[in-house]
């Protein structure tokens, strides 16, 4: 029986490299790899060896005959992909691991950030060089969006952290956490102590709506909401109020995977979430929540929905929650004419209902998908109580307001319309792309087009906020290749100070910096608390708690 890839696919292509018959596509060498939601196994070519299942870092690969419940659809999805993308599974040109020639000396590299892009970069560098690596993060814990972005009910996705465990046990690695580059140390100071600095700082800002009332209490960016339920230590426990007046209905602006995550967490039975690593304060708030209805607003139509197929299929299977589509002639027509493998086709069979946003939510719990709708104002006396929504129409891919408006009453509004990179002190910034200015991972001076020696970028800070966790693997490889080319060409600057000098600088600037010993103490403390409650871990939710756990002995 053939294997199939399921919802939790991370797209890092670990399975591709171990398949003996090359039946997993798209591969990183194929054009579709950059845009695919997930990878697919050809059941006609699969020889049932199980190598892909062993290699998958997120347990997303299973024999088709073992798929149960909502996962059974993935057997058909894997098969149907090859109906539309036939392949002879021919092998491409072999790729061999790179390494540095002898005689380059002991290189020192700083990586700013500890999320997935930083983890993949460190893996590549430790495998291909004999360099000493220093990882730096503004928070007292590692993980970045893997810890603070992935929804708590996606525990299998978080298992990819286990693939980075070897990085943090390598004797060539040091970490300095609770240290902010640009405040505690500058880029120039990093450069003085290292041959190269790689920035893996993500895209920290939310895009704004730019409408009246956006800053009213009860209007939140998605990063705040996601950080709140994931115990991000800079997000207060009271950042989200689920018992406020009108909180029976929540409006989420956007329909990407983050918006879907927020809707799902709001309406999932808290008893199911109690078995995850959700923040304690969020779990308590959800137990007392009055939310019964979540409305997802999308400026464009069903064909342009931003969620991935696998995430939306999971949303449709949420126990005790109805999913309905706001009825509209253009929406109805788009669903009726949808191609079988399109985003709009996923809505087939869902109820089409006229949605009245001024009426109280009905009994039960439901998610309303409202397309061709854009918020034009948030209103309320001292707090959000309603959203004015304008109808839109499409001309090609572009949506424009028609002038028709109505009102949706809601006690909470979350904008989830994408992230935006922020400038890194000391580095050139591309305002149009909202990324660090670069070429192929090398940071460049836009005024001259020349590379800044020894400065590199990876992840969302490099390519913008696109692609899931696994996409960072190929992104990191490109940046590390650029570094290897420069190191081979002896184009890296020689640092004027030593690694011990840098350690002393950190101790002087940040006496409360966290190292590997303290990081392991935090991990033990969280896992111990989790074991007592039957959970993977109970996260420490504030900086003081994290620092105290790191100092604790035993």
Q: Is residue 492 part of a domain?
A: yes
User: According to the model, what pLDDT value does residue 495 have?
Assistant: 96
Residue 22 has pLDDT above 90, yes or no: yes
In terms of DSSP bridges, do strands 429-430 and 435-436 run parallel, antiparallel, or are they unpaired? antiparallel
Which segment of 67-76, 382-391, 532-541 scores lowest on mean pLDDT? 67-76
Per residue in 125-152, pLDDT (tens digit) is 999 999 999 999 999 999 999 999 999 9
Q: Is residue 546 part of a domain?
A: no
Q: Is residue 34 part of a domain?
A: yes
What is the CATH number for 23? 3.30.70.20
149 shares a domain with 9: no
**pTM, 2 dp:** 0.93
Q: What is the DSSP string of 134-181?
A: EEEESSSSS-THHHHTS-TT-HHHHGGGGGGTTGGG-TTEEEEES--B
326 shares a domain with 229: yes
150 shares a domain with 22: no
Total domain count for the chain?
A: 3
Task: State percent of the chain over pLDDT 70.
Answer: 99
Per residue in 174-203, pLDDT (tens digit) is 999 999 999 999 999 999 999 999 999 999
Q: Is residue 547 part of a domain?
A: no
Domain stop point among 52, 84, 116: 84
172 shares a domain with 196: yes
Residue 296 is given by DSSP the state E
What is the CATH number for 370? 3.50.50.60
Domain stop point among 499, 514, 529: 514
Reported confidence tier of residue 444, pLDDT bands at 50, 70, 90: very high
Reported confidence tier of residue 554, pLDDT bands at 50, 70, 90: low
Q: Is residue 194 part of a domain?
A: yes
Q: Which residues of 195-221 are buried (b: 16+ CB within 10 A; e: fewer)?
A: bbbbbbbbbeebbebebebbebebbbb
User: According to the model, what pLDDT value does residue 305 have?
Assistant: 94
Range of the domain at 190: 108-204+421-514
Reported confidence tier of residue 341, pLDDT bands at 50, 70, 90: confident
Alpha carbon distance 365, 263 (integer Å) = 11
405 shares a domain with 311: yes
Per residue in 284-298, pLDDT (tens digit) is 999 999 999 999 999
What is the CATH number for 149? 3.40.50.720
355 shares a domain with 262: yes
382 shares a domain with 245: yes
249 shares a domain with 199: no
Geometric angle at alpha carbon 240, from 268 and 305, rounded to 5°: 55
How far, in Å, are 12, 194, 238, 380, 382 from residue 477 at the CA level?
12, 20, 40, 49, 50
139 shares a domain with 112: yes
268 shares a domain with 178: no
Q: Is residue 360 part of a domain?
A: yes
Alpha carbon distance 318, 153 (integer Å) = 12
Residue 248 has pLDDT above 70, yes or no: yes
The pair of three-digit structure tokens given for residue 360, joined into one six-digit string: 């109280």
Residue 244 has pLDDT above 80, yes or no: no
397 shares a domain with 275: yes
Q: Is residue 526 part of a domain?
A: no
Domain stop point among 385, 417, 449: 417
216 shares a domain with 195: no
């Amino acid at each position: 029986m053939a294997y199939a890839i399921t919802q939790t696919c991370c797209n890092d292509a670990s399975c591709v490299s171990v398949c003996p018959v090359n039946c997993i596509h798209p591969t990183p060498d194929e054009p579709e790899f950059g845009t695919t939601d997930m990878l697919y196994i050809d059941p006609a070519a699969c020889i049932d060896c199980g190598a892909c299942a062993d290699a998958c870092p997120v347990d997303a690969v299973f024999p088709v005959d073992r798929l149960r419940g909502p996962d059974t659809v993935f057997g058909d999805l894997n098969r149907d992909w090859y109906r539309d993308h036939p392949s002879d599974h021919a092998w491409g040109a072999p790729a061999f691991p790179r390494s540095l020639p002898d005689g380059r000396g002991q290189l020192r590299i700083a990586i700013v950030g500890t999320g997935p892009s930083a983890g993949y970069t460190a893996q590549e560098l430790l495998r291909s060089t004999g360099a000493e690596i220093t990882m730096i993060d503004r928070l007292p814990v590692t993980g970045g969006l893997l810890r603070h972005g992935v929804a708590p009910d996606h525990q299998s996705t978080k298992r990819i952290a286990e693939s980075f465990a070897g990085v943090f046990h390598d004797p060539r690695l040091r970490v300095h956490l609770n240290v902010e580059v640009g405040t505690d140390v500058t880029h120039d100071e990093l450069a003085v102590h290292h041959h190269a600095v790689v920035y893996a700082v993500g895209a920290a800002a939310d895009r704004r709506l730019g409408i009246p009332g956006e800053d009213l209490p009860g209007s939140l960016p998605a990063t705040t909401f996601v950080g709140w339920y994931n115990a991000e230590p800079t997000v207060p426990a009271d950042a989200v109020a689920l018992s406020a007046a009108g909180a029976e209905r929540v409006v989420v602006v956007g329909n990407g995977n983050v918006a879907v995550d927020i809707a799902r967490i709001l309406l999932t039975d808290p008893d199911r979430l109690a078995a995850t690593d959700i923040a304690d304060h969020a779990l308590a708030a959800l137990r007392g929540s009055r939310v019964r209805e979540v409305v997802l607003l999308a400026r464009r139509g069903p064909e342009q929905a931003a969620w991935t197929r696998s995430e939306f299929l999971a949303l449709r299977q949420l126990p005790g929650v109805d999913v309905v589509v706001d009825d509209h002639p253009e929406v109805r027509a788009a669903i009726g004419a949808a191609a079988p493998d399109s985003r709009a086709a996923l809505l087939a069979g869902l109820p089409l209902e006229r949605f009245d946003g001024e009426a109280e939510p009905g009994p039960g719990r439901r998610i309303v998908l409202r397309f061709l709708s854009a918020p034009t104002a948030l209103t309320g006396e001292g707090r959000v109580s309603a959203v004015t929504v304008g109808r839109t129409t499409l001309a090609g891919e572009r949506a424009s307001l028609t002038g028709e408006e109505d009102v949706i009453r809601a006690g909470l509004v979350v904008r989830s319309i994408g992230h935006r990179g922020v400038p890194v002190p000391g580095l050139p910034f591309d305002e149009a792309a909202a990324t660090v200015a670069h070429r192929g991972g090398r940071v460049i001076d836009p005024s001259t087009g020349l590379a800044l020696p020894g400065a590199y970028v990876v992840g969302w800070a490099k390519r913008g906020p696109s692609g899931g966790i696994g996409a960072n693997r190929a992104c990191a490889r490109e940046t590390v290749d650029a570094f290897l080319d420069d190191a081979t060409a002896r184009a890296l600057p020689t640092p004027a100070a030593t690694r011990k000098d840098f350690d002393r600088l950190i101790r002087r600037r940040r006496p409360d910096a966290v190292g590997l010993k303290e990081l392991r103490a935090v991990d033990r403390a969280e896992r111990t608390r989790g074991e007592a409650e039957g959970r993977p871990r109970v996260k420490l939710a504030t900086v003081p708690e994290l620092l105290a756990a790191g100092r604790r002995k035993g």
